[in-house]
Amino acid sequence: MQRRWTILPFSPDAVSQLSLETGYPNSICKILYQRGLKNAAAVSDFFSPRLENLHSPWLMKDMEKAVNRIMQAIARKERILVFGDYDVDGTTAVAAMYRFLKKLAPHGDQVDFYIPHRYREGYGVSKMGINHAFETNRTLIISLDCGIKSVELVDYAKSIGVDFIICDHHLPDKKIPDAIAVLNPKQVDCNYPYKDLCGCGVGYKLMSALAERFNMSPKDVTEFLDLVATAIAADIVPMTGENRILAYFGLMKINLKPCAGILALKNKAETKGPMSITNVVFIIAPRINAAGRMDDARKAVELFVETDPIKAMELASALHSDNTDRREADKTITAEALEIIESDPVMLSRKSNVVYSEHWHKGVVGIVASRLIEKHFKPTVVLTRSGDLVSGSARSVPGFNLYEAIYACREHLVAYGGHFAAAGLSLLPEKLNDFMSRFDEVVSSSIEEHMLTPEVIIDAEIPFSEINFKFYRQVQAMEPYGPENMRPVFLTRGVTNISSRLVKDEHARIVVKHEGVVFSGIGFNLKESFQNIDLSKPFDIVYTIDENEWNGETTLQLKVVDMRP
C-alpha cells in the first residue's frame, strides 16, 4: 500500500535557541518544539516527570460536592455501588475506586461494584444496573468512564432514591445529567486545566481529593497508578501533561511492584524485561478487553481486586482463554471479510467498505474493522446479526469524521452513537442494502482524496552519523509514547544498499550505508515498498530506532516504516 510522507514543520531559529538553552542537539529539539515544549523549563518537566506537577483535584468542577456526598455515605454507612464500563478504562477505574473505598468502609459489603453485560445491557449506565442498586439497598452510585450522557437514567435513579456521582471523560451533550456531582473536565464550565484524562484518570482525581479529606497517605492513592497507566494506554488518550506523568509512574509500578492482577497477566503472557506502554497496549489490554468481548467483564474487575496470587493467576488464566478465543474469532472473521471485499470488483472500487455476515461474533467486529483498514484504507463498517437487528462497529481513517457520515444515514438506522474515529450502529435487516448504498454515497461525496492514502508522519530528517547510543537514550527518554507524543520517526535520504533482501516473502531485511555509516534494519510487511526499490541506486528510508541484543552484544538497528526511490 502506497503511503504519503509528511515531514513536520519547525522554526529553525526557535529550535536553535532551544538547543542553546537545553544542550540537546537540534534534531532532538525539533521534536520537542513540535510537541509544544518551547523553553528549557518545559523540556525539564518533560524529561523529569513529577507527581507534584499534577493539578489539584479541587480545581475540577463539582469535586467538593462529590467528596462531601461520599463522606456522608461513609459516615451514615450507606451502601455504595461502583459502576463502570466493560472496557479497560472502565474496569480498571472500577477496580481502583472499589479498592480505595474499601479502605474507608472495610467492613461487610457497604461497597460493591457492577459492570454492565456488553450484550444484555449495552454500553454505559443501564436501567438493570440501577435496579440492582435499588434492590440491594444501595443509595449511591459512583459511575466511572460513563454516565455523562445518561440524563434520563440518572433521573430514573433519583426517582427511586438512588444518587449518582459521575466520573467521565467523554464529550458532554448540552444537557448534563442531574447528578449530585458530575466530574468531567470536558464540561464547558469546568476550569480544570487538563482536559484529556481518561475515565480512570478522573477517578484517580476523586480518590486524591478523598485521600486529602480523610488525611490518608499519598501511597493510599498512588498504589493504583498501575491500573491508571493501563487505562491511559488502552484508551488511546493523548500522552501529554497529566496523562504522561500518571503513565510514567504507573509504568514504574507495573514493572516494579504491580497489583496481583497485573502481575498475573504479565506472567500468563510470559513477558520478558521491562514493559513499555506499547507492551501494555498489545499484551495486557487485549486480555482485559477480551473478558467483555467474549464473556463477562466482571471477571476483569475481580482480577484487579484480588490480592491472593494463586487466585489472581486463576482469573488471569480465564482472561487469557477469552483472549485466545477472541484472537481466533478475529482472525477467522477478518479472513472472511477480506474475501468478501476482494472478490467484489464493485466493492473494491468504492471509497468505503460495509461487510456483513450473520454468524460473526459481535464482540470482535470493531477489531475486524480496524484490521480491514490496514489492507483497504477507507472508512469501514462491519456488521453481524444481533437478535432481530443487524448491528456492528465502524472505524474511520485519519481526518474523516465518521460520526457525521453515520448521522447522515440515520434514516436507515435504529440506533447509532460514537465519535470522530469510531461508531456503533444498529438497523433492521431489510434496511441493510439501503444503508450500504447511502453510507458509500456520503463517504464518496465528503472524503478528501488524500485521506484514502495512509500518511507517515516524520519528525526529523537526520544523517546516520547522528545516530549513536547517546542520541538513542535521548529519544527513549521521551517515553512513555502515545498520541501527541509518538515514538520519533526519522527520515534519511540517499542511503545505498550493502545487503538487502526479503524475509519470508513479506519483510524487508536491509543493510544500508549513508555517508560512510552503516546500519541494519527490518521492515515488517514492506514487500511492496521493497520491490519498488532499485537496489543499485540510492533510496530514502523512514524508520524508528531500536536496540538489538544478539549473543550478549547490544547494537542499534532501524525499524523501517517505509522506503521509496
Q: What's the CA gap between 48 and 268, in Å, rounded?
A: 32
Pairing label, strands 380-386, 353-356: parallel
Residue ranges in 177-259 assigned as alpha helix (H): 199-213, 219-222, 225-234, 241-256
DSSP symbol at 485: B
Ranges assigned E (strand) in 101-205: 111-114, 138-144, 163-167, 181-183
pTM of the model: 0.91
Domains in the chain, please, with CATH? 8-47+456-564 (2.40.50.460), 59-321 (3.90.1640.30), 344-452 (3.10.310.30)
Residue 486 — φ and ψ, nearest 5°? -75, 160
| Cell reading at 340 | 468478501
335-369 core/surface letters (b: 16 or more CB in 10 A; e: else)? eebbeebeeeeebeebbbbbbbeeebbbbbbbbbb
Strand partners, 426: 391, 415
Note whether 167 and 69 are within 8 A (CB). Answer: no
CB 154 within 8 A of CB 130: no
CB-CB contact of 455 with 398 (8 Å): yes
Residue 285, all three cell numbers: 489490554
Per-residue pLDDT of the chain (565 residues; tens, 9 = 90+): 789 999 999 999 999 999 999 999 999 999 999 999 999 999 999 999 999 999 999 999 999 999 999 999 999 999 999 999 989 999 999 999 999 999 999 888 999 999 998 878 877 899 999 999 999 999 999 999 999 989 999 999 999 999 999 999 988 889 999 999 999 999 999 999 999 999 999 999 999 999 999 999 999 999 999 999 999 999 889 999 999 999 999 999 999 999 999 999 999 999 888 999 999 999 999 999 999 888 889 999 999 999 999 999 999 999 999 999 999 999 999 999 999 999 999 999 999 999 999 999 988 999 999 999 999 999 999 999 988 999 999 999 999 999 999 999 999 999 887 778 888 899 999 999 999 999 999 999 999 999 999 999 999 999 999 999 999 999 999 999 999 999 999 999 999 999 999 999 899 999 999 999 999 999 999 999 999 999 999 999 999 999 988 888 899 999 999 999 9
Q: Residue with C-alpha cell 490480592?
A: 307
